[in-house]
A = this chain, B = another copy of it.
């Protein structure tokens, strides 16, 4: 359902630093309620706040299709002057997002790995560099790439349920978080916490995650959307232009680092993921997941 060429277009229009040449936006009618396959987007024009709800059961895994839809949805909102903020949350019970879809990284062609990895990069560049206020309403577990989405927002609210956990647990799977996952993590929790958590591949229960600042706030599940709206209103009280320039000043160094090494990062991913030892690890992990379900 995604027209070919859309993602390349995204590539030519990086979200960060675009304030000055923002296009006039799509017709409002298009944005008021556009539903896709994997993400439900609703825009409340009175408040200027959109909600992006992940609805890709069973676990909202970040497949190539999901990532493409995510980028397109975010770009539409970014270009829509009626939209100033986005709340990112899940429509699937107990899970925010399980992270990158392992089936996209297993037994596929080099070309597929490259296309997939560019989509992962694109998602992060758009979200971490978004001019809109971004609030993660984390209503379920959020490992690996799911955690990255939360880390890339301006503010993180999580349901206080200790059964829900969050973290960059790549090391547990025998793989390594890319440097820009790491940079984003360090910007939120500092170097020491990141070093320990990444090496151990820790998944932190919500209360622990809150304790060291991985999430900003904990709330009961029934208060989550209300709290997210209140936080959003607080951030939208600021003049957009000053807030956007400030955000860009804080995040530019880390965004620029990936932009400068983007193709190199794709090649690194391909050569790493193509190793037989890594493929074997991932196959074993998928077997384990299947047994769990069965």
Judge whether A94 is part of the interface by a CB distance below 8 angstroms: no
Chain A: interface secondary structure?
A: helix
A201 CB to closest chain B CB (Å) equals 6
Assess whether B194 is in contact with A191, with CB atoms less than 8 Å apart.
no
A interface residue count range (under 10 / 10 to 19 / 20 to 34 / 35 or more): 35 or more
Q: Which residues of B contact A243 (CB under 8 A)?
A: 171, 199
Question: B187 and A192: CB pair below 8 A?
Answer: yes
Flag whether A220 is at the interface (Cβ < 8 A).
no
B residues within 8 A CB of A172?
Answer: 238
Q: Which residue of B lies closest to A252 (CB)?
A: B179
CB-defined interface of A171-187 with B at 8 Å, one 1/0 digit per residue?
11111110100100011
**What does the 1/0 interface line of A132-175 toward B look like (CB < 8 Å)?**
00000000000000000000001100000000000000111111
Q: Taking each of A171, A182, A198, which has the highest tally of chain B beta carbons within 10 Å of its own beta carbon?
A: A171
**Residues of chain A having any CB pair with chain B under 8 Å:** 154-155, 170-177, 179, 182, 186-192, 194-196, 198-201, 213, 216, 234-235, 238-239, 241-243, 245-247, 249-251, 277, 281
